[in-house]
């Protein structure tokens, strides 16, 4: 896996920043990326990617980036991605504010987007990504005019999709029934690697909608809730059984015993072993 790098620092230029987007191509191999956005970034997912992802300082969680989709990372946001399985990489485009204004004017003005949004899907985005695959998979350096055209279409299609999502994501919290169904599924599958895509499919909601509606219902992000449930279920097992720590970690969905220990220490101020000893005294 590559050493950590800053996406902005590796972006190529096809011209002056005010005239075209800076771009970066990540090939089909595991990678680590960590950067703070100086400007809006749009990524086209040329293939599926399995990764641990943390946005804006949040703890990394399992995430699947679907092929033929886009991702949007707003200016000022922080991104940390550790990708373990990469089928075809991605192409990223960074748009300075003056370039966005020159390209779109006020036609696609949106309310500030507070965090990154993944798996943005539409027929037009899928078609654009399919074309980008052929553009960036060529043996020679991609044509600069074609790259510029793809970057502009990517920005327009993503903004159109985000605007279409706005009415859906502005709705209220999950209903009691939706929330109970989600909790039941999480508890029943706590040993598995739960993903936002899987959980959103359960309720037939877009990922972005599930994130916002869940937080409005529960008062905390969904990925944090899942981790809290892992800790709570592990607490019960530590008290009620004599199972080894590594078995409890696996049965509660932690990546390792060390991962469980880290989660316990941050949330309870005790290691799992110390928790077990204290609970039994």
Mean pLDDT (whole number) for 12-19: 46
What are the tokens at 109? 């003005």
pLDDT tops 70 at residue 13: no
* pLDDT per position as a tens digit, 63-117: 889 999 999 998 888 899 999 999 998 999 998 888 877 777 765 556 667 788 8
Whether residues 219 and 148 share a domain: the answer is: no
E strand or H helix that includes residue 103: helix 97-104
Q: What is the pLDDT of residue 41?
A: 92
Same structural domain for residues 181 and 145? no
Final residue of a structural domain among 169, 203, 237: 169
Q: How many CB atoms lie within 10 A of CB 165?
A: 16
d(CA 2, CA 281): 47
Quick one: pLDDT at residue 17?
42
What's the pLDDT at 139? 67
CB count, 10 Å around CB of 103? Answer: 16
pTM for this prediction: 0.59
Q: How many domains does the chain have?
A: 2
| pLDDT at res. 167 | 54
The pLDDT tens digits for 180-212 are 999 999 999 999 988 888 898 899 888 878 888
**pLDDT bucket at 10, cuts 50 / 70 / 90:** low
Residue 29 has pLDDT above 70, yes or no: yes
Here the tokens at position 240 are: 């009620």
In this prediction, what percent of the chain has a pLDDT beyond 90?
A: 45
Distance (Å, rounded) from C-alpha 248 to C-alpha 240?
11
Identify the CATH number of the domain in which residue 271 sits. Answer: 1.10.10.60
- pLDDT, tens digit, for every residue of 227-262? 999 999 999 999 999 999 999 999 999 989 999 999
pLDDT band at 16 (very low <50, low <70, confident <90, very high): very low
Asked whether residue 171 carries a pLDDT value surpassing 90, the answer given is: no
Any domain includes 163: yes
One domain for residues 23 and 48:
yes
Using alpha carbons, list the distances in angstroms from residue 250 to 85, 185, 189, 247: 21, 18, 12, 5
Q: What is the pLDDT of residues 32-42, one digit of tens each?
A: 988 888 889 99
Q: Say whether both 185 and 273 belong to one domain.
A: yes
Mean pLDDT over all residues of the chain? 85
pLDDT confidence bin for 20, thresholds 50/70/90? low
The reply to whether 109 and 198 lie within a common domain is no
Among 169, 187, 219, give the residue marking a domain's end: 169
Residue 102's pLDDT is 74
Give domain status of residue 143, yes or no: yes
Pick the residue with more confidence: 1 or 255?
A: 255
Give the pLDDT of residue 90: 93
Phi and psi angles of residue 44, each rounded to the nearest 5 degrees, phi first: -105, 120
The per-residue pLDDT for range 115-154, each reduced to its tens digit, is 888 999 999 999 999 999 999 887 678 888 899 899 999 9
pLDDT at 278 over 80: yes
76 and 57, same domain (yes or no)? yes
Domain closes at, from 142, 169, 196: 169
Distance set, CA 179 to CA 38, 78, 167, 188, 227 (Å): 36, 29, 21, 14, 16
pLDDT at position 3: 38
Domain that holds residue 45: 7-169
Same domain, 139 and 195: no
């Amino acid at each position: 896996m590559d050493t950590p790098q800053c996406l902005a620092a590796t972006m190529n230029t096809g011209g002056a920043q005010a005239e075209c987007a800076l771009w970066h191509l990540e090939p089909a191999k595991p990678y680590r990326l960590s950067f703070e956005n100086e400007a809006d970034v749009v990524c086209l997912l040329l293939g599926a990617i399995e990764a641990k992802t943390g946005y804006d300082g949040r703890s990394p969680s399992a995430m699947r980036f679907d092929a033929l989709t886009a991702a949007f990372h707003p200016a000022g946001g922080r991104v940390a991605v550790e990708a373990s399985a990469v089928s075809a990489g991605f192409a990223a485009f960074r748009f300075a504010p003056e370039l966005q204004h020159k390209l779109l004017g006020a036609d696609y003005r949106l309310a500030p987007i507070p965090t990154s949004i993944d798996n943005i899907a539409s027929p037009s985005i899928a078609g654009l990504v399919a074309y980008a695959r052929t553009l960036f998979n060529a043996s020679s350096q991609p044509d600069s005019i074609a790259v510029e055209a793809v970057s502009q279409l990517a920005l327009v299609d993503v903004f159109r999709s985000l605007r279409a999502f706005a009415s859906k994501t502005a709705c209220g919290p999950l209903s009691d029934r939706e929330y109970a169904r989600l909790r039941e599924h999480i508890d029943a599958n706590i040993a598995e690697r739960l993903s936002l895509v899987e959980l959103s499919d359960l309720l037939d909601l877009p990922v972005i909608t599930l994130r916002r509606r869940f937080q409005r219902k529960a008062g905390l992000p969904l990925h944090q809730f899942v981790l809290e449930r892992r800790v709570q279920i592990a607490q019960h097992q530590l008290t009620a059984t004599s199972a080894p720590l590594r078995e409890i970690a696996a049965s509660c969905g932690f990546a390792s015993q060390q991962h469980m220990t880290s989660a316990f220490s941050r949330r309870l101020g005790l290691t799992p072993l110390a928790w077990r000893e204290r609970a039994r005294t």
